Amino acid sequence: MTPTMSALKVGAVDAGLLTITQLQKSFGERTLLNIVDFQLNSGNIYALTGDNGAGKSTLLRILAGLEPADVLRGNFESQSMNGADYTQALRREIVYVHQHPYLFNTSIAANIEYGLKMRGMDSQTRQSLAQEAIRWAGLRHVADVAPKRLSGGEKQKVALARAKVLNPRLLLVDEPTANLDRAARQQIVALLRQTASSNNCVVVACHDREIIDLPGVARLHLEAGKISV
């Protein structure tokens, strides 16, 4: 299938949110990533594809400040990005959702509130936002279930709700539908579409045709360390 060339627009004209002028990452003598002149636009959803081992997860983790790059130069709106100084301000704007999200053995609401608590938000507001996120993610029927007893799809919903309440400008989601049944995949895909707005950008690393083939979703393909569209 020919990659889709224009991303899903959510009520806005393309606006450069993140621009990478140079990003390099090597492991020993192997160059995993060598990306130049790459841009993500507000109001868009992107599917990041590539073979296993191509570096999709590594790229997302670098953009989220969770893994160092050998070279990282670029801008996130007016903020400079570089490998030596990944600022706290960037961490508030860019959120990464792991393929296998870790959930604390507390409650669903407490897991969703966690990031808000770390940001110093008051308890009443946190609780209100968590309950709203539980409704948004369709988790009310398991709201009192221990996180360790949730299904894989339910855990992904909690992880997406936990990310959504932080209101990130750039949401990076790593293989959210891997190993889920069709019904669970469809629910996650629906939530991913709902996370997009004219003010943010969503990038989903995946092999899932249900995501890749969604009307208007742009495909970014990672191969031999470079990204093509």
pLDDT of amino acid 6: 37
In contact, 179 and 147? CB cutoff 8 Å: no
Amino acid type, 144: D
In contact, 126 and 116? CB cutoff 8 Å: yes
pLDDT of amino acid 5: 32
- pLDDT at 4 exceeding the cut of 60: no
Q: Report how far apart, in Å, the C-alpha atoms of 47 and of each of 10, 78, 132, 204, 227 are.
A: 16, 25, 27, 5, 12
Please state the pTM of the whole predicted model: 0.91
Domain ranges of the chain: 15-228
Mean pLDDT over residues 46-69, rounded?
Answer: 96
In contact, 111 and 155? CB cutoff 8 Å: no
- pLDDT at 224 exceeding the cut of 60: yes
- pLDDT at 64 exceeding the cut of 80: yes
Distance between CA atoms of residues 89 and 79, nearest Å: 9
pLDDT of amino acid 7: 44
Superfamily of the domain at 15-228? P-loop containing nucleotide triphosphate hydrolases (3.40.50.300)
Radius of gyration, CA atoms only, the chain = 17
Distance between CA atoms of residues 162 and 134, nearest Å: 9
- pLDDT at 82 exceeding the cut of 60: yes
- pLDDT at 217 exceeding the cut of 70: yes
pLDDT band of residue 15 (cuts 50, 70, 90) is: low
The pLDDT > 90 percentage for the chain reads 79
Instruction: Round the average pLDDT of the chain to a whole number and report it.
Output: 90
- pLDDT at 2 exceeding the cut of 70: no
Distance between CA atoms of residues 220 and 207, nearest Å: 12
